Amino acid sequence: MTEYLIRRVLQSVLVIFLITLLTFLLIHAAPGGPTKVMLSPGLSPEVLEQQAKNLGLDKPIPVQYVRWIGDLLQGDLGYTFKNHIAVSALIWPRIANTFILMGAAWLVSLVIAIPWGIYNSTKVYGFSDQTASFISYLGFAMPTFWFGILLQQWLSIKLDWFPLSDMHSRGHEGDIGDLFMHLVLPVTVLALGFLASYMKYARSSMLEVLDQDYIRTARAKGVQERKVVFRHALRNALIPIITILGLDLPILVAGAALTENVFNWPGMGRWFVEMASSREYSALMAITIITAVMVVIGNLVADILYAVVDPRVKLGKQGGKAA
Amino acid sequence: MTKKRNWWSILLIVSLIGILFTGCSTNNTANTPNATAESTAPAESAAPEASAPAADAPVDGGTLVLSSFSDIVNINPLLIGDTSSGDIANFVFAQIYDLDRAGNVTAEPWSLAAELPEISADGLTYTVKLKDNIKWSDGQPITADDVVYTVETAKNPETGSPLISQYDKVKTVEKVDDHTVKFTMNQVYAPFLYALCQAIVPAHVLKDVAPKEIQTNPYGTDPAKTVTSGPWKWTAWKQGESHTLDANPDYWGEVKPHISQLVYKIYADQNTEVQAILKGDTDHISAIPVTQVEAAKADGDIAIIQKPGAQYEYLGFNFDANNFKDKYGLFEGQKTRQAIAHALNRQGMVDNILKGVGALMNAPFLPDTWADPGDAAVNYDYNAETAKKLLAEDGWVAGTDGILTKDGHRFSFELQYNAGNSRREQVAAVIQQNLKDVGIEVTPKAIDFASWIDQNVTPGKFQAVLLAWSLNNPDPDAESIFSSKYFPPAGQNAGWYKNEKLDQLWVDGYSTVDQDKRKEIYKEVGKEISTDLPYVFLYQYGQAIGTGPRVHWAEEDAPEPSLGYGQFFHAIKWWVTD
């Protein structure tokens, strides 16, 4: 297991390095640049060139990359070009904000989706199952931003039950109750989307297990249905769900740009879009690195959990299951 | 001058919207490809309605919540290039001079100058007298040294300051005494007066910073290190969320601000901003998208001011044959360009897309300003028959597919505009249909703003563009966008337009400070440019400003959409009630 972990970590480092290289090249291949998107009157090409020079953007791309990776190895994520603010000072608060939002939405959706999906697998095509299907389709089909605007119009502007947007009311920073009220609408929107897929996974995974020979055997032996479901089937049914959860881990930091926009949530998704449109290379690279690390960790966690819940899987020299 | 979110200004300034958009600078035009989906409606000159009767006397105190859909870049006056930074700077910095409602340069109680500058008889020297009680927020006096330092640093190419073009005709700037500065010009340059509507920076804070390090210096991005000169101080910035400005307790001006705190909140886009003012989370919005104006009016609590702003949209032609198939420039014929002007239903665009809030233009001068050439400029009415006749006279004949051809070349071109701008998207569709009606094929193409400016507009590589200029100061000079001295990539004449008569007229226009003479010259410019058509001038448009019920002002202090930053005109005299 230890050897496996070390190997996986080393592989991951290589993968992340390649990702950064590729991303760096792609970002710089995009037309425009941090200074060029700032056209304004009187900003002649000479002025733009001078600004780029003042920011070190005139150096060849390989030189810029080496400098960037050198800074990264010293734990320095660099500075924004436009206003020379440390990327680390900007990124961590946003990751925290996104984590609060996405974490809450994720938890809410799991708490509802997994038990409900499992219950529905035992009562296929019953009223509860049909209702869940309807909600799933709604979750898949409804654009989040539209649903968000709908909730805002109805529950915030019309009924005034919840705040319209932002993370906190002015002067209530750090007030948990106020934060909770601000979370209700965006979490509802996001959780509906997660709910749809997790419920489907839980239901179909459980159905598949319940169709196995050993379950039939257990039932034939007269084991209580409750025991069949919870003791024999559940653990195996959770395996694919856990894999999916591991793979979804990066959304906890990547955020959801559209929902964050509608609710004016100061998170990563929205910030990423802003940084991309203003060609803030350092910020984009920082986001890339963090997201890549999360993807790698998510994969690793999924593999390890897989081994934990499924004794047939051994993490050894042959490597884990590819997730 | 500034650019709205996505950018604004290219030359004059895009200054408005926000998305794009004002300050005072010598260049009076900015190109504003708004990167955000700004859609706005200019209005007829309706008198601004105050949000509430100003019968009550002003009260001191309270918080005013403003909004924007983009965060600042840097509020150092040497580096401002976007609208949001300009907004904040507008509250925390005093300028040497300010503009009155009519756009005249004036020394207000909140201006640094004590009186209007003394201009020598030959028009070559300007002597500026500063007030003697003015001081920085750190208590240091503001002196002639600060003015000299600001102008010299702006003129230094190493600084990378957008103000460089504003001061490029200044030969020397000298300190006469602590409160007097003398500018000597290389040539008579009438628009220079507007270059004095400019905030200055503290020499005692920045004098030891190398010019090329000003951009990365925390002055302008760290509230704790940004010494300012205006009625409010910049106390906090939560990146991407909000700015807090508190009344400066040591403010030197005779007129003190009534409002004790301004909060500048940043939203993701204009629609979210509108929702926030409807909900009462904010008190002021600089630009309500045209699609939401009705909803805001229906609310009843929001006072809406709609009046044309200092910007106009145009269809720009490219005269560089290298941009066309077989190097055959499609817009060479003057009659061809006039035909296109006749083919476009400009009034229809104003009525249907701008919901009636806009004014047709035929020359690059805003309607009802002193330089407006009026009837001297040719007005092209919407008439497809006239258009077809002119095209035929210019040698275009219908091809087998109905598209006109000449010398074996089809009349088909690509019209570029910036993606995400819903107004331009609609206007491009109208242009496509109108020109199809006369046998010209147009392919509209929306491009990401940053890429478009970099790859097409700046280098002058396109066939035709749909774009706007925001005029950041009321001077009519527009040499930098129409003169052949300013070809790409070094200048803003992106369409490679060359007209020797006009080149000379622009120079004549700024080489005298006698306004009557200038008026005659610009009348001639209007006649020539509307005949020759480097652009089809479409319309002047504006942004609808909205304010909530808590905000009050006396009538003479109401927002003035025709000025850059006019949405905050005389904000020092506004007050709020709860």
A181 lies within 8 A of chain B by CB: no
**Mean pLDDT of the region B345-370:** 91
The shortest CB-CB distance from B25 to any of A41, A84, A260 is to A41
Closest CA to B217 of B135, B166, B153: B153
Average pLDDT over residues A122-137: 90
- Count Cβ–Cβ pairs < 8 Å, chain A vs chain B: 180
Q: Out of B3, B72, B263, whose CB is closest to A38?
A: B3
**Residue B526 is inside which H or E element, if any?**
helix B515-532
pLDDT band at A170 (very low <50, low <70, confident <90, very high): confident
Q: Is the pLDDT of residue B248 over 80?
A: yes
Q: In this model, does residue A240 exceed pLDDT 60?
A: yes
The chain B residue lying nearest A47, using CA atoms, is B160
Beta carbons of B571 and B245 less than 8 angstroms apart = no
* Nearest by Cα to A251 from A198, A303, A201: A198
Contact B6 A277 (CB under 8 A): yes
Three-class SS of residue B528? helix
User: How far away is chain A from the Cα of B400, in angstroms, using its nearest Cα?
Assistant: 39
Cα A148 from Cα B144, distance rounded (Å): 55
Contact B3 A170 (CB under 8 A): no
Q: What percent of chain A has pLDDT over 90?
A: 33
Residue B6 is predicted with a pLDDT of 38
Two tokens at B112?
Answer: 């640094």
Which pLDDT band, with edges at 50, 70 and 90, does A247 fall under?
confident
- A79: chain B residues, CB-CB within 8 Å: 216
CA–CA gap between residue A93 and residue A83 (Å, rounded): 18
| Angstrom distance (rounded) from CA B108 to CA B537 | 35
Q: Do B221 and A84 touch (CB under 8 A)?
A: yes
> Pick from B165, B221, B276: which is nearest to A164 by CB?
B276
> B212: which chain A residues are within 8 Å (Cβ-Cβ)?
50, 53-54
Q: Between B12, B263, B279, which is nearest A41 by CB?
A: B12
- Three-class SS state of B474: coil
Residue B251 has φ and ψ, to the nearest 5°, of -60, 135
Q: Is the pLDDT of residue B55 over 60?
A: no
Chain A nearest CA to B384, separation (Å): 36
β-pair partners for B305? B545
What is the per-residue burial (b if ≥16 Cβ within 10 Å, else e) of B210-227? ebbebbbbebbbebeebb
Amino acid identity at B123 = G
C-alpha B361/C-alpha B349 separation (Å) is 13
Q: pLDDT band at A41, cuts 50/70/90?
A: very low
What is the pLDDT at residue A252? Answer: 86
Residue in the block written with tokens 């906190």: A168
Which range is least confidently modeled, A184-188, B3-7, B251-255? B3-7
Residue B443 to chain A, least CA–CA distance (Å): 22
Q: Mean per-residue pLDDT for B41-61?
A: 53
Whole-number Å distance between alpha carbons of A104 and B87: 36
The closest alpha carbon to B383, from B335, B333, B437, B424, belongs to B437
Measured between beta carbons, the chain B residues lying within 8 angstroms of A157 are: 275, 278-279
Whether residue A131 lies within 8 A of chain B, CB to CB, comes out as no
User: Which region, left, alpha or beta, applies to residue B493 given φ > 0 means left and ψ of -120 to 50 means alpha?
Assistant: beta
Q: How far is B308 from chain A (nearest CA, A)?
A: 21
Confidence of residue B47 (pLDDT cuts 50, 70, 90): very low
H-run or E-run covering B144: helix B144-155
| pLDDT range class, residue B516, cuts 50, 70, 90 | very high
Beta strand B261-266 pairing with B63-68: parallel
3-state class of A60 per DSSP? Answer: coil
Q: Which residues of chain A neighbour B449 with C-beta distances below 8 Å?
A: 37, 277
Whether the CB-CB separation of B513 and B188 falls below 8 Å is answered with yes
Shortest distance between the Cα of A104 and any Cα of chain B, in A, equals 21
Asked whether the beta carbons of residue B212 and residue A50 sit closer than 8 angstroms, the reply is yes
Distances in whole angstroms, Cα of residue B457 to Cα of each of B442, B453, B496 = 18, 5, 11
pLDDT at B495 over 90: yes
Task: Concatenate the DSSP letters of all residues of A271-290 into one string.
Answer: HHHHHHHTT-HHHHHHHHHH
Pairwise CB contact (< 8 Å): A157 & B275: yes
Instruction: Output the average pLDDT for chain B.
Output: 88
pLDDT score of A241 more than 50:
yes
- What confidence score (pLDDT) does residue B41 get? 29
Question: ∠ at Cα B330 (B397, B405), nearest 5°?
Answer: 20
| Count of beta carbons in the 10 Å neighbourhood of residue A88 | 13
- Pairing outcome for strands B118-119 and B98-99: unpaired
Dihedral angle, C-alpha B88, B91, B96, B99, nearest 10 °: 100
* CA B348/CA B542 separation, integer angstroms: 17
Q: With an 8 Å Cβ cutoff, are A54 and B2 in contact?
A: no
Query: Is the Cβ pair A278, B159 closer than 8 Å?
Result: no
The alpha-carbon gap from B31 to the nearest alpha carbon of chain A, in Å, equals 7
pLDDT band at B54 (very low <50, low <70, confident <90, very high): low
For residue B191, pLDDT beyond 60:
yes
pLDDT value, residue A251: 85
State the pLDDT at residue A315: 66
Residue A32 has pLDDT above 80, yes or no: no
When pLDDT is averaged across residues A218-230 and rounded to a whole number, the result is: 86
Could you tell me whether strands B412-418 and B464-470 are parallel, antiparallel, or unpaired per DSSP bridges? parallel
Helices (H), chain A: 2-29, 45-54, 61-73, 87-122, 127-141, 144-151, 176-210, 213-220, 225-227, 234-248, 251-254, 257-262, 268-277, 281-309
Q: How far is CA B416 from CA B421, B455, B460, in A?
A: 12, 12, 12
Categorize the per-residue pLDDT at A43 as very low, low, confident or very high, splitting at 50, 70 and 90: low
Q: Work out the minimum CA distance from B8 to partner chain A, whole angstroms.
A: 6
Distance CA B210, CA A116 (A): 65
Return the structure tokens found at B180.
Answer: 């007097």
Is B27 close to A39, i.e. CB distance below 8 A? no
Write out chain A residues lying below 8 Å of B279, CB-based.
Answer: 156-157, 164
**Cα A148 to the chain's mean position, in Å?**
19
Complete DSSP assignment for B404-466: EEETTEE-EEEEEEETT-HHHHHHHHHHHHHHHTTT-EEEEEEE-HHHHIIIIITTT--SEEE
B287-333, pLDDT tens digit by residue? Answer: 898 888 888 999 889 999 988 888 899 999 999 999 999 999 999 99
| Residue B55 CB burial class (10 angstroms; 0-12, 13-18, ≥19) | exposed
- If pLDDT is split at 50, 70 and 90, which confidence band does A55 have? confident
- CB pair distance less than 8 Å for B7 and A42: no
Whole-number Å distance between alpha carbons of A311 and A235: 11
Q: What percent of chain B has pLDDT over 70?
A: 90
pLDDT tens readout for residues B8-37? 333 333 232 232 333 333 333 333 333 333
The mean pLDDT of B490-504, rounded to a whole number, is 92
Query: What would the mean pLDDT of B56-73 be, rounded to a whole number?
Result: 92
Locate the chain A residue with the closest alpha carbon to B278: A157
pLDDT at B417 over 70: yes
Q: How is B368-408 classified by DSSP, letter by letter?
A: TSTT--GGGSPP----HHHHHHHHHHTT-EE-TTS-EEETT
Q: What is the mean pLDDT of chain A?
A: 86
Mutation site, A26, A36, A37, A40, interface B, largest B CB count within 10 A:
A40
